[in-house]
């Protein structure tokens, strides 16, 4: 009495296993794709916030002031060609920087450079 009606055919079992694996792969792909798209949306905002925080830090502002002070001293000692190059680099370096954080002598140096008088 071998009654095989209690067991589903082997074909149904194989198809069920393959279907389950495909569903699992689809879910994994969905979660990974979702993670990528979330990163694509939020990563630029996160990095912008980090950069803004960095630019407000004391270390960044002090470093910028020291660098500009060194440029100012090199400008004083330099030849006319060197002065022109230093002014070009200094004005490019402070574009987008809050100049009110700098000392008055560095601000006057920068304004001379921007006006072309520091040559």
- Average pLDDT per consecutive 10 residues, the chain (119 residues; last block may be shorter): 63 90 90 79 90 92 94 93 93 89 92 78
* CA angle, residues 50, 56, 58, in degrees to nearest 5: 120
Host domain of residue 15: 8-55
65 and 103 assigned to the same domain: yes
33 and 48 assigned to the same domain: yes
Residue 7: predicted pLDDT: 64
Phi first, then psi, for residue 103 (nearest 5°) are: -70, 155
Number of domains in the chain: 2
| Residue 72 placed within a domain | yes
Residue 2: predicted pLDDT: 54
Q: 55: Cβ–Cβ under 8 A, 6 or more apart, which residues?
A: 97
pTM: 0.60
């Amino acid at each position: 009495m071998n009654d095989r009606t209690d067991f589903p055919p082997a074909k149904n079992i194989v198809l069920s296993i393959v279907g389950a694996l495909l569903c699992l792969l689809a879910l994994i792909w969905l979660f990974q794709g979702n993670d990528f798209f979330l990163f694509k949306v939020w990563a630029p905002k996160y990095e912008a916030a980090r950069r803004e925080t960095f630019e407000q830090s004391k270390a960044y502002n002090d470093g910028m002031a020291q660098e500009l002070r060194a440029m100012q001293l090199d400008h004083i000692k330099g030849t006319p060609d060197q002065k022109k190059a230093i002014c070009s680099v200094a004005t490019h370096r402070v574009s987008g920087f809050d100049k009110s954080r700098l000392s008055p002598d560095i601000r006057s140096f920068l304004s001379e450079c921007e006006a072309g008088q520091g040559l």
